[in-house]
Amino acid sequence: QCRYSAANCRPAPRAPAPRLPPHPTHGFCLPSGTWLLYLPCTWSIGLAAEPGCLPDWHMLSLFGVGAVLMRGAGCTINDMWDRDYDKKVARTASRPLAAGDISTFQSFIFLGGQLSLALCVLLCLNYYSIILGAASLSLVITYPLTKRITYWPQLVLGLTFNWGALLGWSAIKGSCEWSVCLPLYLAGIMWTLVYDTIYAHQDKRDDIIIGVKSTALQFKEDTKQWLSGFSLAMLLSLCMTGMNCNQTFPYYSAVAAIGAHLAHQIYTLDIDKPEDCWKKFASNRTVGVLLFIGIVLGNL
C-alpha cells in the first residue's frame, strides 16, 4: 500500500508504484470519464436534429446529468468488484472500499441512490428509449468482471461507454435508425479501444502481478499497429454514418481532423512512459468535441 510523506503528499520511496490518474470508470474527481461517456450521446443527439437546426439543448442537458449519474454508478460497481485487487495497486489502495473506510452494504445503499436518480432521468424519455437505456445496465454491471477472464475488457468498455450513440437518437426520434446508429456505435467502440488501450499501458506492470488482463498486455509491442487499425475502422464508420444521414462538408472536415489527431497521437505515443500514456489518453476528449462540432456545423 502506498505511503505518503506529510510534507509534500507524494509517494514515499517504498511505494510500489507512482500515483497515476484514475481509470475513466473510477471516481468523481476526474471529468475525463464523464466526458468520454457523454460525448457519444451528443453525437447522436446532434445527428438526430432536423437539417438546419441546432441539437436539442434540453436533451443534451438531460443526457449530461445521466452521464454523471451512470458514470458514478459504474465507479461504484467497479470498486465493489475490484476491492480486493485495488488493495494491491498503489494508486487504488486508498479508495474507500479497498481501504475499509466503508462497508459493502453501505456501497449497495449508495449505488441504489445513484441508480434511482439515473432512473428518474431515464423516465423522462420515450418508452423505446427507456427500454433501450435499461438494457445497458447489464453491461455496466458485468464490465468489471471481464478483465478477469479476457484480454479484451476494453471492447466491453466500448460497448458500455458508447451506448449513448444509440440512446441519443432514439430519445429524439422515438426509435433507432440503424443505418446511422450502428456505424456511429461501432465508431465509438473503436475509439474506446484506442484510448483505453493507451490508458491500460500505465497499469500493465501491476496488472501482470495481480493477474488482471487488458488489451495492453495482449498487444504488447504491436500496440501501435492495433491502434492504427482501430482508428481506421473508426474513421470509416464515421464516414458511413455521415453518408447515411446526408451530412455535409463540415462533418467530413471534422472526421479528417480527427484522423490527423489520432495519427499524431499514435505516432508519438510511448507505451513505456505512464505520463505520456496519460497525456495521450486525456487528449481524446478533443476527438469527441471535434466530432460534435462537425456534426452541428454540418447539420446547419
Instruction: Flag whether pLDDT at 85 surpasses 80.
Output: no
Residue 106: inside a domain: yes
Query: What pLDDT, on a 0 to 100 scale, did the predictor assign at position 3?
Result: 37
Q: Which three cell numbers stand for residue 39?
A: 460525448
* Per-residue confidence (pLDDT) for residue 120, from 0 to 100: 94
Q: What was the pLDDT predicted at 219?
A: 95
* C-alpha–C-alpha distance, residues 21 and 191, integer Å: 20
Task: Indicate the number of domains in the chain.
Answer: 1
In a domain, 47, yes or no: no
Q: What is the pTM of this model?
A: 0.84
CATH at residue 117: 1.10.357.140
Q: What's residue 132's pLDDT?
A: 95
Domain residues for 128? 31-42+55-299
Give the tens place of pLDDT for each residue, 156-199.
999 999 999 999 999 999 999 999 999 999 999 999 999 999 99
Q: How confident is the model at residue 30 (pLDDT cuts 50, 70, 90)?
A: very low
Among residues 76, 60, 63, 64, which one has the least CA distance to residue 25?
Answer: 76
Percent of the chain residues topping a pLDDT of 90? 65
- Answer whether residue 24 is part of any domain: no
Exposed (0-12), middle (13-18) or buried (19+): which is 141, by Cβ within 10 Å? middle
What's the pLDDT band for 72 if we cut at 50, 70, 90? confident
Q: Which three cell numbers stand for residue 148?
A: 478477469
> Is residue 4 in a domain?
no
Q: Whole-angstrom Cα distance, residue 158 to residue 281?
A: 14
Q: pLDDT by residue (tens digit) across 134-154?
A: 999 889 888 888 888 999 999
Position 26 in a domain: no
* pLDDT tens, position by position, 193-204: 999 999 999 988
Kindly state whether residue 229 falls inside one of the protein's structural domains.
yes
Render 57-119 in DSSP notation, one character per residue. Answer: HHHHHHHHHHHHHHHHHHHHHHHHHTHHHHTTSTTTTTSHHHHTSS-HHHHHHHHHHHHHHHH
Average pLDDT over residues 16-35: 53
Q: How confident is the model over 67-84, as a mean pLDDT?
A: 82
Determine, yes or no, domain membership for 156: yes
Q: H helices of the chain, where?
A: 32-48, 57-81, 83-86, 96-99, 104-122, 127-135, 137-149, 153-161, 164-173, 178-200, 204-210, 215-219, 223-244, 249-268, 274-282, 284-299
Rounded average pLDDT over 19-24: 46
**Is residue 153 in some structural domain?**
yes
C-alpha cell of 34?
464523464
